[in-house]
């Protein structure tokens, strides 16, 4: 009967087995059921759905909402669902016409990664009326009701089985940012359909298990096409009068190269702007698409370290050589809708206690901030990705032939860094220059330059080694510049 009881008056006492089959659920085989004469045997069986459900919603003219989850599997199933099984979310009765029906493919559990699932439907009948059999080859009467950002629902009428003409409705649902799909496909009834709980909903339905497809969207957050370019603005603040600097830098994908470890890497050229010829250094990266890792080649020992994790989920920890995580380890915060350079997109953030950086879909790195002894904030101004430009490029200014008017020690870049950083300084006139590195205890670590230099802007690289050629540990170090009677110092962070 509808309550799940089986009446077998002629069944002899003894032990029996029960094979239970229900549409949309896995078959269950239960053994050792004892049946006694004149008694009722209670058998409780938990049914396991064959696939993720479709949420069916019916809306009355008075606003009452009725819902039911129906499950699907890889075979076509003809389902007849009594309306009395639908749950009323508004607490009312089915006492006014139905003006809308909506279908929402869902996932069994809230996903923690990217998912795509497909559902096929045909010959939908509500009460005594045919809603749609899709034999027109179109779903023009239906419309998509938008859900939460990050999910999607695509529809198509395709050739399939079970109807006479062979056309069925295909729904492809999923999410881009590890959140459940929430878009709905709806059809309106004008006039409304007068139904009662004695009526039923009938339909053909088939589906497939959700496909975890992390590469489908994740790699869009880290584009590395030949010729891609990014321009950034960098602002630096220190706790001293006038210690606020603004500078510009850029990155260009120059191609790829084979490294001594036998692996091929994308070549990234970093440079200062606007002239793009100073402050040049290179980094070498590749993407392991099976694990979603951005791996960076380490020239000093031909090893690899993890620069980013594109498949990271909320709360996951990233440990590696990302120079924008001061502590060397950070946690993935979340995805969120964003607008960058006029592009509506999604962004994802990693952060630790001192720093953060943001990757945006279709653009790559769009923002970073480091905040401890020195505050450094970087913002994307321009990007050319796969031939498409966003924002305004930083222009090229003609060189100034006059001598620099000030004595300056600029912020090193990158900072934090690993394994190498560039230190730039400016001399108002020819001077004898000494550039040294100290630790926080005042101990001299290395002398990078000692000698005479003309007026102008100069730069020196430090590879994170002491004066004996040994790699120094992670930590905060002091750059000290002396030119005649003038002196300047700055802090920088080495992250191993």
343, 362, 391 - which closes a domain: 391
Task: Please indicate, yes or no, whether residues 129 and 178 belong to a single structural domain of this protein.
Answer: yes
CATH of the domain at 436: 2.60.40.4070
Instruction: Give the whole-angstrom CA distance, residue 152 versus residue 175.
Output: 6
> Predicted confidence band at 328 (pLDDT cuts at 50, 70, 90)?
low
Write down the mean pLDDT value for the chain.
82
> What is the mean pLDDT of the segment spanning 343-354?
80
pLDDT of 333 over the 80 cut? no
> Predicted confidence band at 58 (pLDDT cuts at 50, 70, 90)?
very high
Q: Quick one: pLDDT at residue 29?
A: 76
Cα–Cα distances (Å) from 278 to 74, 248, 358, 413, in that order, read 60, 11, 26, 12
Q: Which residue has the higher pLDDT, 110 or 339?
A: 339
Q: Quick one: pLDDT at residue 156?
A: 86
> What is the mean pLDDT of the segment spanning 408-412?
82
Stretch among 105-109, 145-149, 191-195 having the lowest mean pLDDT:
105-109
> Residues with Cβ < 8 Å from 39, sequence gap 6 or more?
none
Task: Please indicate, yes or no, whether residues 261 and 201 belong to a single structural domain of this protein.
Answer: no
Q: Which residue has the higher pLDDT, 364 or 339?
A: 364
> What is the mean pLDDT of the segment spanning 161-177?
76
Stretch among 202-211, 459-468, 475-484 having the lowest mean pLDDT:
202-211
Q: Within a domain: residue 397?
A: no
pLDDT of 436 over the 90 cut? yes
Q: Within a domain: residue 484?
A: yes
Instruction: Give the whole-angstrom CA distance, residue 370 versus residue 232.
Output: 15
Task: Please indicate, yes or no, whether residues 63 and 37 belong to a single structural domain of this protein.
Answer: no
Task: Please indicate, yes or no, whether residues 248 and 358 belong to a single structural domain of this protein.
Answer: yes
Beta-bridged to residue 305, according to DSSP, are 296
Task: Please indicate, yes or no, whether residues 97 and 120 belong to a single structural domain of this protein.
Answer: yes
Task: Please indicate, yes or no, whether residues 183 and 323 belong to a single structural domain of this protein.
Answer: no
Task: Please indicate, yes or no, whether residues 15 and 80 belong to a single structural domain of this protein.
Answer: no
pLDDT of 474 over the 60 cut? yes
> Residues with Cβ < 8 Å from 312, sequence gap 6 or more?
292, 318, 332, 348, 350
Q: Quick one: pLDDT at residue 47?
A: 65
Q: Within a domain: residue 396?
A: no
Task: Please indicate, yes or no, whether residues 72 and 197 belong to a single structural domain of this protein.
Answer: yes
> Predicted confidence band at 403 (pLDDT cuts at 50, 70, 90)?
very low
User: pLDDT tens-digit profile of 349-370?
Assistant: 888 777 888 998 889 999 998 8
User: pLDDT tens-digit profile of 256-302?
Assistant: 888 988 899 999 999 998 877 888 889 999 988 777 889 999 888 88
Structure tokens at 421: 């950083």
Q: Within a domain: residue 202?
A: yes
Q: Within a domain: residue 142?
A: yes
pLDDT of 176 over the 80 cut? no
Q: Quick one: pLDDT at residue 400?
A: 40
Q: Quick one: pLDDT at residue 300?
A: 81
pLDDT of 493 over the 90 cut? no
* Sheet containing 408-409, strands listed edge to edge, beginning at the edge strand earlier in sequence: 408-409, 421-427, 456-462
Q: Within a domain: residue 398?
A: no
Instruction: Give the whole-angstrom CA distance, residue 39 versus residue 376.
Output: 79
Q: Within a domain: residue 41?
A: yes
> What is the mean pLDDT of the segment spanning 446-473?
88
Domain count, the chain: 4
pLDDT of 239 over the 90 cut? no
pLDDT of 126 over the 90 cut? yes
CATH of the domain at 371: 2.50.20
Task: Please indicate, yes or no, whether residues 172 and 193 belong to a single structural domain of this protein.
Answer: yes
Smallest Cα–Cα separation from 183: which of 192, 191, 174? Answer: 174
Cα–Cα distances (Å) from 108 to 152, 205, 313, in that order, read 17, 17, 18
> What is the mean pLDDT of the segment spanning 159-179?
75
Task: Please indicate, yes or no, whether residues 69 and 121 belong to a single structural domain of this protein.
Answer: yes
Q: Within a domain: residue 107?
A: yes
Q: Name the percent of the chain lying above pLDDT 90.
A: 21
Task: Please indicate, yes or no, whether residues 40 and 158 belong to a single structural domain of this protein.
Answer: no
Contacts 24+ apart (CB under 8 A), 92-96: 92/60, 92/62, 92/64, 93/64, 94/60, 94/64, 94/66, 94/195, 94/196, 94/197, 95/60, 95/62, 96/60, 96/61, 96/62, 96/64, 96/192
Task: Please indicate, yes or no, whether residues 351 and 254 belong to a single structural domain of this protein.
Answer: yes
Q: Which domain holds residue 426?
A: 408-494
Q: Quick one: pLDDT at residue 317?
A: 78
> Predicted confidence band at 101 (pLDDT cuts at 50, 70, 90)?
very high
């Amino acid at each position: 009967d509808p309550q799940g009881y089986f009446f077998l008056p002629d069944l002899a006492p003894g032990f029996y087995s029960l094979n239970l089959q229900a549409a949309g659920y896995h078959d269950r085989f239960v053994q050792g059921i004892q049946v006694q004469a004149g008694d009722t045997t209670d058998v409780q069986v938990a049914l396991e759905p064959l696939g993720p459900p479709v949420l069916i919603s019916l809306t009355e003219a008075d606003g009452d909402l009725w819902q039911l989850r129906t499950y699907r599997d890889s075979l076509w199933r003809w389902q007849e669902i009594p309306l009395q099984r639908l749950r009323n979310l508004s607490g009312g009765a089915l006492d006014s016409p139905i003006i809308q029906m909506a279908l929402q493919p869902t996932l069994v559990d809230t996903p923690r990664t990217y998912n795509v699932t497909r559902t096929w439907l045909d010959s939908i009948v509500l009460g005594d009326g045919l809603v749609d059999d899709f034999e027109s080859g179109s779903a023009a009467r239906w419309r998509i009701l938008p859900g939460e950002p990050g999910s999607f629902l695509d529809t198509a009428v395709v050739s399939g089985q079970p109807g006479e003409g062979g056309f069925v409705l295909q729904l492809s649902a999923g999410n881009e940012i590890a959140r459940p799909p929430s878009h709905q496909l709806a059809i309106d009834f004008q006039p409304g359909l007068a139904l009662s709980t004695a009526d039923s909903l009938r339909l053909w339905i088939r589906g497939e298990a959700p496909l975890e497809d992390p590469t489908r969207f994740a790699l869009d957050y880290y584009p590395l096409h030949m010729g891609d370019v990014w321009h950034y603005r960098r602002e630096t603040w220190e706790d001293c009068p006038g210690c606020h600097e603004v500078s510009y830098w850029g990155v260009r994908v120059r191609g790829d190269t084979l490294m001594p470890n036998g692996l091929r890497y994308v070549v990234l050229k970093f440079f200062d702007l606007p002239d793009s010829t100073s402050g040049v250094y290179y980094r070498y990266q590749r993407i392991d698409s099976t694990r979603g890792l951005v791996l960076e080649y380490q020239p000093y020992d031909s090893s690899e370290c993890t620069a980013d994790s594109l498949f990271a989920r909320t709360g996951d920890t990233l440990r590696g050589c990302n120079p924008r995580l001061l502590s060397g380890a950070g946690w993935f915060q979340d995805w969120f809708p964003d607008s960058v350079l006029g592009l509506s997109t999604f962004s994802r953030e990693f952060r630790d206690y001192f720093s953060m950086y943001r990757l945006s879909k279709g653009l790559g790195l769009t923002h970073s901030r480091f905040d401890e002894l020195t505050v450094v904030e970087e913002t994307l101004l321009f990007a050319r990705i796969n031939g498409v430009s966003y924002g305004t490029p930083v222009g090229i200014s003609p060189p100034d032939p006059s001598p620099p008017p000030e004595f300056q020690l600029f912020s090193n870049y990158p900072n934090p860094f690993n394994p190498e950083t560039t230190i730039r300084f400016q001399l108002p006139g020819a001077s004898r220059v000494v550039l040294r590195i100290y630790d926080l205890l005042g101990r001299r670590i290395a002398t990078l330059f000692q000698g005479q230099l003309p007026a102008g802007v100069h730069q020196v690289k430090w590879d994170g080694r002491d004066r004996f050629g040994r790699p120094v540990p992670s930590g905060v170090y002091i750059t000290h510049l002396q030119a005649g009677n003038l002196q300047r110092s700055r802090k920088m962070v080495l992250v191993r």
